[in-house]
Amino acid sequence: MVSIPTFTSQTFSEPATGKVLRATEIAVQQWIEIDEATGEELTVRNSDLQISEEAYDQLKIDRQTQAIQSLQGNSGNAVISRSVAIDVPPPLEKEPGRSAPESVQNRIQREINDRYGVLDQGIADVRSSTEALGRTYDSLMAQINQHRPGLGNRDFGFSVNAEGRIVILDPHGLKDEEVDYLDKVLNGSQTLVKEAIDLADAHIALASSQPWTRGLMLNRQNYAQTIDIGADLLYHREAKALPRGTGEIPTKSVDINNYWRFQLDLKG
């Protein structure tokens, strides 16, 4: 219902709801015509009216009553008012079985909640997957050191390829026989392989839902060439070992380029 206090305005009761409504005419044209039957001058006013269908029906009845009363009263020239409903608003009451349309504000808020809900879940998945894989990897390296002392402490990286197999990265002087041994042990651990795949999937899902990637593509096909899981685990291990709240100066800096997000930014 739109009410503009211009020219004629009146209130009436709407039959469907019993509510008191106001209808306002917006005059657009007015002219004089001669009544062929009486020869009298008639003022004809053409106006636009914004009103609901129910109220429009009631208004026509009221106007007919007014016209009759005006003629019966014989008070000056009669006035005929022709009104046209140009904008019929939606039903005043929600129709049975139909939900009310979602407001723009509610839709924007829902989209924001959905987006940040996805981000929160993605961050939680990466954190839990990294922690689980880190525990399994550290336990496996301890077992390797029991059979091959020092080999588990050597500097090398690893990732998982599109076929779900662990691949050794940057062996840094390891002998071929040692690389083969590590490849066999790492892929022989079903838990490690599964957790590496879970972490890769979590990285990919989070990267696809965040704007900081700036269109960088990360998927299972290019993951092993982009993300060194071993380097990311090293970053988390060194960051966790940093002194906190003691005022102690770290004796060794943490290479932030090992963090998987920076790897994606550098190599993606």
User: For all residues of the chain together, what is the average pLDDT?
Assistant: 76
In the beta sheet, which residues pair with residue 158?
168
Cα distances (Å, whole numbers) of residue 196 to 4, 68, 133: 67, 88, 7
Q: What one-letter code names the amino acid at 58?
A: Q
CB atoms within 10 A of CB 263: 20
pLDDT confidence of residue 29: 64
Using pLDDT thresholds of 50, 70 and 90, give the confidence band for residue 98.
low
> Regarding predicted confidence, which is higher, 242 or 238?
238
Range in 12-21, 34-43, 140-149 the model is least confident about: 12-21
Measure the CA–CA gap between 30 and 82, rounded to whole angstroms. 10
Helix, strand, or coil (residue 174)? coil
Residues in the chain, total: 268
Helix axes 229-241, 260-267, angle to 10 degrees: 140
Q: What is the mean pLDDT of residues 143-159?
A: 92
Task: Say whether pLDDT at 191 is over 50.
Answer: yes
Nearest 10 degrees: CA dihedral of 96, 101, 107, 111?
Answer: 50
In the beta sheet, which residues pair with residue 29?
46
